[in-house]
Structure 1
Amino acid sequence: MNPLLTTKAETFRAGEDNLDFYRNRLIKLTNGALLYCTKGEADFSIDLEEYHIVPNTNVMLLPGSILSLKSATRDFRVHYFAYSGEMIKVACFRLDPAFMHFMKENACYTHTDPEAIRAITGLIGASAAVYGDKENRFQESIAQNLLQIFFLDTYDKVQRYFTKEQLEGSNRKGQLFKKFIHLVHTHCTSQRDVAFYAEQLCISTRYLSAITREAGNISAKEIIDEFLTLEIKVTLQSTNLSLKEIADRYNFPDQSFFGRYFKKHTGMSPKEYRMTRA
């Protein structure tokens, strides 16, 4: 069972787990989750980025994040507070969008300040207590308030400890690159053309490619293909959709074109990939 999955009947969950459910699997979260490592170490992949998790590391998973556990020590444990997409909308509606982008790009942070550690462990402990109190008529409202407290406290720390340039990008190119990554994360399942993203950013395709080369030594098209391939892998692993249905979902002209595209970027056919992950 996925410990971080919320439902309409259970809009938040809290507890302790080793997250072995995510080992060598790609899972796209429909909701969000706050993780806090208490024991052991682990290596995670979050939206194509690799992270090494140690005790006192806080992990923020926003809705839509793609998570995979690559490896972990036997004693690895996290306390988690999983929350619905609607809950985070209410908790963050007054916060600067640049802050949310910053949080997504800096998903993990290891705390060394005792005060910060007390604050995060207090929040996690309170969420677990509220989750366990099933008879509390205000259970969901209290959880909502706890989540808002976490984001407000984190927002305060980020505003104090990071410069505006760090939050928004040190220059215009940096800002455009971050906006491009956000757009790709949002639209890659339906838009594979670099021109679409350049138009959204009000720049030329040549300038966008120059920005991605300078920022990440990779072309804009390669970034789009990486994110789309990751989305397809998640779908192949986590659903029973036919290859034709997957081709339709991701706007490929036909199943054959979809198969060639996937094999070009992974070295195996969609069917072969699904069988290796069964």
Structure 2
Amino acid sequence: MSDKITVSTISSTLKHYLLSVNTNTGFGVVDDSWNQDDFAVIANEPGLTHGLPVKTDYYSVILCLRGGCKKTIGHFVFEVYTNSIHLVSPQFITSFEDASSDLLLYQVVFKKEFLTDSLLKENILNNLLEVNPDYPPIYGLSQKSCASLKALYEKISDEAREKGAFHLHILRLLLTDLLYEMNRACENCLLHSTRHLSKQYQLVYKFKKLVEDQFLILKTVQEYADALFISAKYLTEIVKAETGQNALHVIHNRQYLEAQYLLSSSGLSIKEIAERLNFDNSSHFSRFFKRFAGNNPSEFKQLQ
């Protein structure tokens, strides 16, 4: 079976963003002379309401200055909102939908190697990038903090554009500053949150993490309940209470996300994708996919 699956790089992302700049803000790299393949700054592409699932080989730290959207990062689904900052890690598939027409995001994208070339010790960097894995990687900001971070993003953008003496060293220092500010926002959010006190929340988190790890193997609510040593009835009840969704929908949604990703980012045939996702046959996979997408896998591929 072919394994040619596309993973987005910084270079391919910049090409997708055309001039890599939001013309309304002037933020980002404004020409094609920037040749770093491990660091870039960009603003969101205006007018897009949704984005297909992608996997990157880089991290993104994203500041939302205006508007909002619904974001999926691995097993987390959450709302991006004005005056928030969130992190996208390369190990997860990510997508967005329902973006408002006024959505404005500033993004710094980088590979881990960009910072390990600095004086920052790897264990410290790992802690900064891991943040808190038990919660969605989005953190609210006060208006004052958001304004301060906006200025920091724009300073990073200016430094990348002007390429003065020692600019790579300065960019690494500024990016380290940004990661510490994001972690500070995380700590502030956790300080004012009571969700971590809930055993029910912790159990639902374990379920969603297990789905992320085992969705190709475990297919039923009963199988996940057995793995968590609880009844299927109780699992269904607490997932519904915490997320508003039933447990089977969470499982199926992860399969559908992977199917979208493989259909749009790989050279695999529909038969190969059905096999990879452990469906009995292509027909079963096509029926499953059509229930979510409204069209079959072949039609979906043609629309890309």
Q: TM-score, normalised by structure 2?
A: 0.68
Q: How does 1:225-240 map to 2 (within 5 A)?
A: 225-240=252-267
1:28 alignment counterpart = 54
Q: Which residue identity is paired with 2:143?
A: D
* Matching residue within 186, 196, 205 for 1:158: 186
2:284 alignment counterpart = 257
Q: How does 1:125-140 map to 2 (within 5 A)?
A: 125-132=154-161, 139=168
1:99 aligns with 2:113: no
Q: For 1:9-48, what per-residue CA distance to the aligned partner results, in whole angstroms no more than 9, with x for missing partners?
A: 612211334355x54431323233122345x635344358
Q: How many Å separate the matches in 1 of 2:193 and 2:226?
A: 24
1:81 alignment counterpart = 108
1:208 alignment counterpart = 235
Q: How many Å separate the matches in 2 of 1:121 and 1:34?
A: 12
Q: How many Å separate the matches in 1 of 2:182 and 2:248?
A: 34
What is the alpha-carbon root mean square deviation over aligned residues?
3.7
CA contact (8 A) 2:263 2:301 kept: yes
Q: Percent identity?
A: 20
Shift of 1:220: 1.8
Q: Matched residue of 1:101: which SS? A: coil
CA contact (8 A) 1:236 1:274 kept: yes
1:2 aligns with 2:3: no
Q: Matched residue of 1:35: which SS? A: strand
CA contact (8 A) 2:159 2:167 kept: no
Shift of 1:103: 4.0
Q: How many Å separate the matches in 2 of 1:190 and 1:146?
A: 43
Shift of 1:187: 3.6
Q: Matched residue of 2:16: which SS? A: coil
Shift of 1:81: 0.3
CA separation of 1:34/1:160 partners in 2, compared to 1, >3 Å: closer, same or farther? closer
Q: TM-score, normalised by structure 1?
A: 0.74
Q: How many Å separate the matches in 2 of 1:76 and 1:219?
A: 30
Q: Which runs of 5+ in 2 are unaligned?
A: 1-14, 21-35, 117-121
Q: How many Å separate the matches in 2 of 1:85 and 1:209?
A: 39
2:300 alignment counterpart = 273
Q: Which runs of 5+ in 1 are unaligned?
A: none
Q: Matched residue of 2:240: which SS? A: helix
1:43 alignment counterpart = 69
Q: How many Å separate the matches in 2 of 1:94 and 1:42?
A: 28
Q: Which residue identity is paired with 2:52?
A: L
Q: How many Å separate the matches in 2 of 1:88 and 1:196?
A: 41
Q: How many Å separate the matches in 1 of 2:41 and 2:129?
A: 27
Q: How many Å separate the matches in 2 of 1:96 and 1:201?
A: 28
Query: Which stretch has the larger CA shift, 224-233 or 25-34?
Result: 25-34
Shift of 1:177: 0.9
Q: Which residue identity is paired with 2:16?
A: N
Shift of 1:255: 1.7
Q: How many Å separate the matches in 1 of 2:43 and 2:129?
A: 31
Q: Which residue identity is paired with 1:84?
A: K
CA contact (8 A) 2:78 2:136 kept: no
Q: How many Å separate the matches in 1 of 2:59 and 2:129?
A: 18
Q: How does 1:51-90 map to 2 (within 5 A)?
A: 51=79, 53-54=81-82, 56-63=83-90, 64-73=92-101, 76-84=103-111, 90=122
Shift of 1:268: 3.1
1:113 alignment counterpart = 143
Q: How many Å separate the matches in 2 of 1:98 and 1:155?
A: 6
CA separation of 1:97/1:170 partners in 2, compared to 1, >3 Å: closer, same or farther? farther
CA contact (8 A) 1:212 1:218 kept: yes
Shift of 1:2: 3.0
Q: Matched residue of 1:27: which SS? A: strand
CA contact (8 A) 2:196 2:202 kept: yes
CA separation of 1:253/1:19 partners in 2, compared to 1, >3 Å: closer, same or farther? farther
CA separation of 1:86/1:190 partners in 2, compared to 1, >3 Å: closer, same or farther? farther
